């Protein structure tokens, strides 16, 4: 699976407005809904928040990967959001998060979210990848990094 295939053109937010992670989740979920990636915003938000209760999805280095598996998801998707000023996110390294990669996967998709999460996390350990994404100004620039 190529991560580039899980992103979608409208799924890049370069100026997140939310001031905390719940507001950012709502903002990103709205984009997923408007682009028919999910059918039910509340159902998917519940899946995201339930996963957040299990442990932090802020993986460090200014990156968070919240993810949810829900029957309201139409197609496996990654949506990207960037907030230059950063968010208090309860990250593993206690730093603010500026890059959020939200993963949405349909229930019953044979651990597809784990495959996507694993591949994304392995990619984001490379400093040059993270810097390339952080400095990107368009979806095309981000996809080129991947």
- Cα pseudo-dihedral 88, 36, 69, 44, rounded to 10: 60
For residue 16, what are its two tokens?
A: 């997140």
Average pLDDT of 1-20? 91
The neighbour count for residue 37, using CB atoms within 10 Å, is: 22
Assess contact for 16 and 83: CB atoms under 8 A.
yes
Total structural domains within the chain: 1
The pLDDT of residue 3: 85
Give me the CATH number covering residue 77.
3.40.930.10
Q: Which domain holds residue 54?
A: 3-145
The pLDDT of residue 120: 92
The pLDDT of residue 92: 82
The Cα 36–Cα 126 span in angstroms is 32
Classify 72 as helix, strand or coil.
coil
Catalytic residue IDs: 67
What's the pLDDT band for 91 if we cut at 50, 70, 90?
A: confident
């Amino acid at each position: 699976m190529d991560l580039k295939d899980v992103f979608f053109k409208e799924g890049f937010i370069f100026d997140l407005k939310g001031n905390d992670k719940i507001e950012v989740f709502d903002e990103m979920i709205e984009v997923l809904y408007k682009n028919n990636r999910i059918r039910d915003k509340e159902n998917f938000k519940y899946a995201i928040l339930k996963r957040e209760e299990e442990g932090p999805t802020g993986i460090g280095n200014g990156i968070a990967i919240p993810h949810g598996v829900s029957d309201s998801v139409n197609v496996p998707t990654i949506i990207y959001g960037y907030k230059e000023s950063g968010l208090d996110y309860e990250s593993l390294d206690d730093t603010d998060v500026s890059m959020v990669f939200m993963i949405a996967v349909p229930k019953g998709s044979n651990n597809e979210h784990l495959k996507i999460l694993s591949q994304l996390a392995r990619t984001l350990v490379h400093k040059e990848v993270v810097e390339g994404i952080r400095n990107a100004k368009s979806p095309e620039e981000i996809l080129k990094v991947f």
